[in-house]
Chains A and B, each alone.
Chain A
Amino acid sequence: MTAFLEGTSLLLLLSLAAGMIRVFRGPTAADRMLTAQLFGTTATALLLLQAFASGEPAFIDVALVFALLAAVAAIAFVRRYAAGEEGE
């Protein structure tokens, strides 16, 4: 089971790396923010998988904090974007 969890964690890391392409390409700031949103969710899943792979339940609390902070980041972006800050 541990090997399976490590393997799926690796797949998630690879998908994070692929998502970086969208951050570099853009074209709008909203696209980049979407990728950040996906990164937050992927990191949450990654932490949950690692909590069970390593048998360290503290990672679950870290994942909970990640899930809550991702919303704050998106709302901060929207407030700034709506205030007339251009992303490009």
Chain B
Amino acid sequence: MNILSMIFIGVGIAFFLAGTVGLLRFPDVYSRLHALTKADNAGLGLVTVGLCLQSGSVLQALKLVLIWLAVLVASTTACHLIARSAWRSGAKPWESR
């Protein structure tokens, strides 16, 4: 059980690190959003699954899943709103040359 949850948490952390690297390296607001949502959804989700395996009670595991669902709803809404406000304020999408 420990090994399994270490794998889940390790992969989740890798998503977080990849999200940060994407945030630093990608060329414009919209592609940075893309990198960010991977960290939000997959990263936190995998960490949550890994910790659920460690939790002693079902209630605690359900609370962890609840946190993940709250972050999912919040980050989806927030990313949509931020992208729309960036678009309206005139941020141009990056074009490859």
Contact = CB atoms under 8 A, between A and B. Distances in A.
A48 B24 contact: no
A49 B9 contact: yes
Contacts of B81: 74-75, 78
Nearest to A84: B89
Interface in B40-77: 40, 43-44, 47-48, 51, 54-55, 60, 63-64, 66-67, 70-71, 73-75, 77
Contacts of A81: 85, 89
A67 B63 contact: no
A67 B82 contact: no
A23 to B, nearest CB: 10
Q: Is the interface of A mostly helix, strand, loop or mixed?
A: helix
Contacts of B21: 18
Given A30-B91, A34-B33, A81-B85, A71 B78 contact: yes
A45 B33 contact: no
Given A4-B9, A64-B66, A70-B78, A44 B20 contact: no
Contacts of B51: 48-49, 51-52
Nearest to B17: A15
Contacts of A44: 44, 67, 71
A25 B65 CA distance: 35
A42 B16 contact: yes
